[in-house]
Structure 1
Amino acid sequence: MSIHLLASNNSVRNTTLSCDSMGIHYEVSKSSQTGIVSVHRWESTSNQNVLAGEIEFHWFSADLLRMGDGEWRRRKDLLANEERNPMSRTRTFTGNNGVRYKWKFHWDSLQLCHADRDATNQEALVVYHRHFLPNKPSYLEIRDTSVLPGLDSIIVTFLYMEKKRRDRDKAQRRHGAGGGP
C-alpha cells in the first residue's frame, strides 16, 4: 500500500504536503524577510510544529540546507553528486534515519531510491507525481513505508531538488531549448 502526500498547491516554497489518514502533515513556507524556506512537521503527540529543515537559496553563492535545527551545510556537502559527472542531476544524501538515498530523474519524474543498491533493478521508494490542473493535486507517492523514519530529510531534499528542476526547465524554455536552423 502506498501513501500519497498531497500538495496543497504547485509551489515548492509555500505549500503543505499531507496525508490526513496517516497523520502526516508538513508545512512549507518562505520567509518574506530572510527568503529562507522552512519545513515544519506537525507532531501529533505534542500538537506542535517541529522544524524538519530549512533551505537558503542563493544566486551567486552556494545554496545552504540544514536538517532540523542542525548546522547549515552547503548543498554539495549534503546532496552529493557521487557520479562525478557535472551533467548528472542525481544527488545522494544520508537521511535522518541513517540510510543513504539518492534522488534521480526518470523522464519527467523525480524518484528516490536506495543509494547503495544496484540502480538498474531497483524499484523507486518515493515518486513525485506532478500535475498542472488545479483539480488534480501533485503528490509524493511513498511506495515503501521503510522510508518513514527518514521522511523529514526526504521532504527537505525533495523540495530542493524539485525547485532546481523547475529552475532548469524555466531556463531551458527561456533560452529556446529546441533545435532548428
Structure 2
Amino acid sequence: MVNLYLSSGGCVIRSTYATSDGTVLYKAETPYRIGSRTTSILSLLPSDIPNNSTDGTAAGGPGRYAALAHIEWKGLSAPNTIRYGGQEHDAKVFLKKEGWSWRGRHRIFTAADGKQYQWIMGMYRPRLVTFDDKQETVALFHRRRLGLLTRNKGPPYLEVMPEGEDMLDLIVVTFIYIEKVRKDRERASRSSGGGG
C-alpha cells in the first residue's frame, strides 16, 4: 500500500505528493491566473536514469522530475484536455461520466491493461473502485484532519491499495482531475447556498 501525502491543505493542483518517509514522488504545479490555465504533473525520475545536465550534479541524484501529464483547464470556453502517455485526450472522453452524486458525476477510465475503474465522487472524498460487480477499492482520498473531534491531526493523503500500485501514475493524474472538479462543485454549491 502507498500513501501519498499532500503538502497543501487540499489544493490538489498546487501540491507535492510524498510518501511517509518524505520522498516527493509527484508535484502538481498550476499558475495563479484567471481563465484557462495548465496544471503540470511531474513525477520523480528513478535514480538509475542518467542525468544529462551540465551543471555538475551527480547522475541519478535526488529530486529530478519529468513531466508526467498536463491538464488544460479551459473553463467554459472549451472542453478540458489531459495530455498523458504521449496522447492528448478530451477529459470528457478520457474520464467518462457515469451515475450521479451531489459532488458531480462519477468518472470511469480504462487502464493500460484494458480494465475499467470508476472514481466515485463521494460527499467528502473520492474513492477509486474497479468498475465491475465487486467494486473493490483501489484508492481512497483522506481529507486533512484538523484534530477538532479527535486528537489526530494530519495532512490530506491519497491511499493506494496494492492492486493499484502498478498504475500509480494514472491514479494520480485522474485523481488530480476529479478532485479539482469535485472541489469546484463543492465551492459552487456553498456559494449558491446549496449546502455541503
Query: What interval of TM-score do these two structures reach, taking the shorter chain for normalisation?
Result: 0.7 to 0.9
Show CA shifts across 1:144-175 (max 9, x none): x1212211111111011000111101111111
* Aligned residue identity for 2:43: R
Once the 2 structures are TM-superposed, how far is the Cα of residue 22 of structure 1 from its aligned partner?
9.6
- Alignment of 1:42 onto 2:44: yes
- State whether structure 2 residue 17 is matched by structure 1 residue 11: no
| Counterpart position of 1:138 | 156
SS in 1 for 2:187: helix
- May I ask how many residue pairs the two structures share in their alignment? 171
Give yes or no for contact 2:3–2:20 (8 Å, CA) kept in 1: no
Instruction: Name which one, 1 or 2, has greater alpha-carbon Rg.
Output: 2
Unaligned runs of 5+ in 2: 50-59, 148-152
What's the CA shift string for 1:45-86, capped at 9, x where partnerless? 324322221101111211111114x22211111001245x69
- Paired residue type of 2:154: K
List per-residue Cα deviations over 1:94-153 (Å, max 9, x = no partner).
2345432110023422000112x11xx43311000011639520000112x121221111
**Paired AA for residue 141 in structure 1:** E
Corresponding position of 1:123:
136
**Contact 2:12-2:180 within 8 A present in 1 as well:** yes
Report the equivalent of 2:57. none
Q: Distance in 2 between matches of 1:82 and 1:173?
A: 24
CA distance change for structure 1 residues 171 and 100 in 2, over 3 Å: closer, same or farther?
same
Distance in 1 (CA, whole Å) between partners of 2:13 and 2:180 is 8
- 1:86 and 1:162 map into 2 onto residues whose CA distance is 14
**Distance in 2, Cα, partners of 1:142 & 1:75:** 22
Aligned equivalents of 1:132 and 1:86: distance in 2? 23
Equivalent residue for 2:184, pick from 160, 167, 172: 167
Aligned equivalents of 2:126 and 2:111: distance in 1? 17
Matched, 1:74 2:90: yes
Say whether the 8 Å CA contact 1:90–1:104 is kept in structure 2. Answer: yes
RMSD over aligned Cα atoms: 2.6
Q: State the identity %.
A: 28
Task: Give, in angstroms, the shift of residue 3 of structure 1.
Answer: 2.1
List alignment gaps of at least 5 residues for structure 1: none
- Shift of the 16–24 alpha-carbon distance from structure 1 to 2, 3 Å rule, reads closer
The letter of the residue matching 1:76 is K
Output the TM-score relative to the length of structure 2: 0.76
The TM-score normalised by the length of structure 1 is: 0.82
